[in-house]
Amino acid sequence: MPDQQSPSPTPESAAPSTAQSAASLRALRERAVTHLAPHLKLLTELGEIFTGAGHELALVGGPVRDAFLGRASVDIDLTTSASPQQTEALLKPWASTTWDVGRDFGTIGAQKGQWKVEITTYRADAYDGVTRKPIVAFGDNLNDDLIRRDFTVNAMAMRLPSLEFIDPYDGLGALARKELVTPAPAEVSFGDDPLRMMRAARFVAQLGFTAAPSVVEAMTERAATINIVSPERVHDELVKLMVAPDPRAGLELLVDTGLAEQVLPELPALKLEIDEHHRHKDVYEHSLTVLDRAIALEGPRSVEALESPAVVDGPDLVLRLAALLHDIGKPATRRFESGGGVSFHHHEIVGAKLARKRMRELRFDKDTIRDVTKLIELHLRFHGYGGGEWTDSAVRRYVTDAGSQLARLHLLTRSDCTTRNRRKAATLAATYDDLERRIARLLEQEELGKVRPELDGNQIASVLGIPPGPVLGRAYKHLLAYRLDAGPVGEDAAREELLRWWAEQPESSRTS
């Protein structure tokens, strides 16, 4: 057995191509050793338990890939020749707790101290081609288990406890090339499980890989089969893609292969729509650029003369979705004007409705849908600010309408300025700096985030002599609008305004 502090995984059958230098592959192995070091005691213990009982055990999939990439991996996925019953029997004396919710698929989970592991019996599944649910069948060797995995970079393994490197499908070569290749023919792999096509786009965004031509071709041919996958699973992959380091690359793969037509058709629909403000590019390119710019603004930032600009920590799913979808209402609202121009009146309202519908179909939660659609609805509001002509009342309304999404709205609005005209871009940025400074000043002076009418519901009911109900609600909303317009005025002035408003209401004559 190799020294636990300095193991040296050796390829079993991964002969690198002539284009890959030995030095490059050696560097990958050294990186893997470094990242596996914290897990060696655990892996050795489990390997000795299983081999001592006459079974094989191997670290497999994502943890092996991430070790070679130098990425932290929270999962420890293991595969074994032992049956689920045998695995459970071997783990019980070792672990503090075990669970078998994945028993039907051959998976037994266990925890010992801080370590959580999942061990799955070798699989040799078949698929019916109608659903993505496999007909579970257990296999009898590691290579057959590896060929059923999604991509060769996830089909590498290390036998335990020896740390012998197993790579029958040249995953290490693909990793060195940063290329996604399927172990089996791509059309067979995606035919077995269409969700793997979404994973391809996710890995492109997440790992900085490119999809092999065979993968792109198979994705294009089989794009429509993604519809047999549940919306929940598509949602999960889309979310992982959106919070990855480079979601643009993954989204472009979805669009180029036709998968986006099936799961997010509003995105490719933007490709033919010319943006009236950015005639040098279509709305699709503009939207991806806005997404890139929003991502670049996540985290700490500076605004001139503003000590503490609002911060949106990344990766922020709501901001990124709003940036991607902010203009999806344009195709439905495009109008050709008599002077040769193009308009998209109220596309923010239409876009919010389309986003709400699509996100519901993709099983996003209510809070995320609410926040994304609010940002889409408000993303044009700043353009009424002009050169700073807004009154303090208008600024207060901007803040209260944005509510909890104000920090994200700042970034979305800034990102939406993609003009190549440097002078115009600088002017817009400076103008928004001014708006943020005014907002900060008003927030400090008036605590706008907590603004309420200066009379509460009980006081309004007492002044007007009315019971709780719709009329009281209208009165409350009027006083809130008055507070936003006039600023802090005190209870006496609020009471006078309430009585003035009440005298104009038809209900007042019935209570007098």
Taking only the tens place, the pLDDT of each residue in 26-70 is 777 777 877 888 888 999 999 999 999 999 999 999 999 999 988
Average pLDDT value over all residues in the chain: 87
Over 70: is that where the pLDDT of 368 sits? yes
DSSP3 helix / strand / coil % (the chain, rounded to 5)? 55, 10, 35
**Residue 9: which of 159, 171, 169 has the closest Cα?**
159
Say if CB 136 and CB 115 are below 8 A apart.
no
Say if CB 218 and CB 211 are below 8 A apart.
no
Say if CB 198 and CB 237 are below 8 A apart.
yes
DSSP strand pairing (115-121 vs 335-336)? unpaired
Tell me the range of 110-124, 139-153, 349-363 where mean pLDDT is highest: 349-363
Domains of the chain (ranges; CATH) run: 1-177 (3.30.460.10), 178-263 (1.10.110.30), 268-450 (no CATH), 457-511 (no CATH)
**Residue 46: which of 34, 58, 33, 36 has the closest Cα?**
58
One-letter identity of residue 239: V
**Residue 160: which of 19, 53, 289 has the closest Cα?**
53
Alpha helices in 92-230 (DSSP H): 142-147, 171-177, 186-192, 195-207, 213-221
Mean pLDDT, range 329-345, rounded to an integer:
80
Please give the pLDDT value at position 93: 95
Mean pLDDT, range 212-220, rounded to an integer:
98
CA distances 425 to 418, 420, 431, Å, are 8, 7, 10
Please give the pLDDT value at position 304: 66
Say if CB 362 and CB 237 are below 8 A apart.
no
Lowest mean pLDDT among 137-141, 236-240, 304-308: 304-308
Cis peptide before 161 (omega within 30 of 0): yes
139-186 per-position pLDDT tens digit: 889 999 999 999 999 999 999 999 889 999 999 999 989 999 999 999
Which distant-in-sequence residues (6+ apart) come within 8 Å of 275 by Cβ?
281, 282, 283, 286, 327, 330
Say if CB 43 and CB 79 are below 8 A apart.
no
Over 50: is that where the pLDDT of 15 sits? no
Which distant-in-sequence residues (6+ apart) come within 8 Å of 192 by Cβ?
125, 127, 132, 134, 148, 184
Please give the pLDDT value at position 204: 98
Q: Select the more confidently predicted residue: 441 or 329.
A: 329
Give the integer Cα–Cα distance in Å for 231 and 228: 9
385-416 per-position pLDDT tens digit: 877 888 888 888 898 899 899 999 999 999 99
